Structure 1
Amino acid sequence: MKHHQYIAFNKPYGVLSQFTSEGGHPGLKGFNLPPEVYPVGRLDRDSEGLLLLSNDGKFIKRLLDPKFRHPRTYWVQVEGEPSEGTLQILRSGVDIKGYRTKSCDASILDPQPEVPERDPPVRFRKTVPTTWIELTLREGKNRQVRRMTAAVGHPTLRLIRKKIGLLELSNLAEGAYLEVRKEDILPR
């Protein structure tokens, strides 16, 4: 019987969620990940944080199937300072590209987190403040977080996936990975 592996990887900014490089952008090949594991879902090139990899097909299918509504938590640095009313709009659903997003959790991170600088750094404008918010979604449409924050007037500057199911990114260094158990990700 095949040994199933579950890998938590801290994907750096600018890296594709695939093993092959494409369009001048590096893939996962250069990170010495275990052989025969595959990304579980995607994390855009311009997003950072927790990416799962596995060779367990049944697990991958269950995690990606929208009917199970597994939570995914993101820290999002947005332009401006969202009001409570704006957060409530995010929570109740936003219309993006002819689709209404499902309800989610949205809050301002208090205190604001100290996050290591990104390379390249996020653009800085003296006259426009930024705020870190936390969003927990139970669906995963293409570029959904970015489209949601833009729809409420607070474009995303930086996006870090912090948690999938029960598994948290914690202090895993950028570009590093850790083997985890299936039970660390999803309850039985």
Structure 2
Amino acid sequence: MPEQFKYYIVYKPYNMVSQFVSPDAVRLLGDLDFEFPEGTHAIGRLDSNSEGLLILTTNKKVTKLLFEGKQAHERTYLVQVRNVITEERLEALKYGVDIEVKEGNVYRAKPVDAQMAGAPENFEQLFPHYHHVPHSWITITLTEGKFHQVRKMVKAIKHPCKRLIRVSIEDLLLGDMKPGEVRELEEADFFNKLNIDYQQ
């Protein structure tokens, strides 16, 4: 009988790392109010200061299928940036900006899309004082994933990141999920929404 794998999407909260084990005193995925089966691991990561959609599974093949396949997969982020962003700055972001990557090399980062956005509804204010200072919300969609890429991109247009939330990976959506919430998906639904041939 074929092995039965498990697939989950999680709203990773702010101030939690995307792993179950760490030598550091940090909040872990195991601190979520959910009993994950043995062998569950995260696909891709969100750093501690970022939040939103995270994939967990017991299927070790998903990482290769998602990140090493011929087809690039889109990931969309909702970003709160400091100060009111102008259309000119947004256009500059769409055109592509230079960011520093590994070992000081410069990389031209170009999003698939970047748009103005409204503040999320029914949204928990982690830092209430941010609401009272000039800021903007934008969405950025990428198919590449350099280290801290979104944060570096908005900093390059002089709008430092204040909050970063991944809201989708292909057709997997964060939707109305709340921080810390876990949802299990059927295998076919999971791969269909990621636009991956899961019979590979």
- Give TM-score, length-normalised by structure 2: 0.84
Code of the residue aligned with 2:192 in structure 1: it is: E
Question: C-alpha separation between the residues in 1 aligned to 2:120 and 2:49?
Answer: 20
* Equivalent in the alignment of 1:131: 136
Matching of residues 1-188 of structure 1 within 5 Å: 1-31=2-32, 32-35=34-37, 36-65=39-68, 67-97=70-100, 98-109=106-117, 111-114=118-121, 116-119=123-126, 121=127, 123-124=129-130, 126=132, 128-180=133-185, 181-188=190-197
Cα displacement (A) at 1:66: 7.3
Write out per-residue CA displacement over residues 123-166 of structure 1, whole angstroms, 9 at most, x where no aligned residue: 5385x411110111111111100000001000000000000011
**Contact 2:41/2:57 (8 A) holds in 1:** yes
**Are 1:40 and 1:64, in contact at CA under 8 Å, matched by a contact in 2?**
no
Q: Which has the larger radius of gyration?
A: 2
Any runs of at least 4 consecutive aligned residues in structure 1 with deviations exceeding 6 A, and if so which? none
Question: Structure 1 unaligned runs (5+)?
Answer: none
| 1-structure distance, mates of 2:191, 2:177 | 18
Q: Percent identity?
A: 38
Deviations 1:95-144 (A, max 9, x none): 001111134210111x433352244x265385x41111011111111110
| Distance in 1 (alpha carbons) for counterparts of 2:99 and 2:168 | 24
Distance, in Å, in 1 between the alignment partners of 2:162 and 2:129 is 8
Rounded to whole Å, the distance in 2 between the matches of 1:38 and 1:176 is 16
Conserved 8 A contact 1:19-1:28: yes
Length-normalised TM-score, structure 1: 0.89
Task: Report the RMSD for the aligned CA atoms in angstroms.
Answer: 1.9
In 2, Cα distance between equivalents of 1:16 and 1:75: 19
Q: Out of 24-33 and 139-148, give the one that drifted further.
A: 24-33
- The answer (yes or no) to whether the contact 1:122–1:157 under 8 Å persists in 2 is no
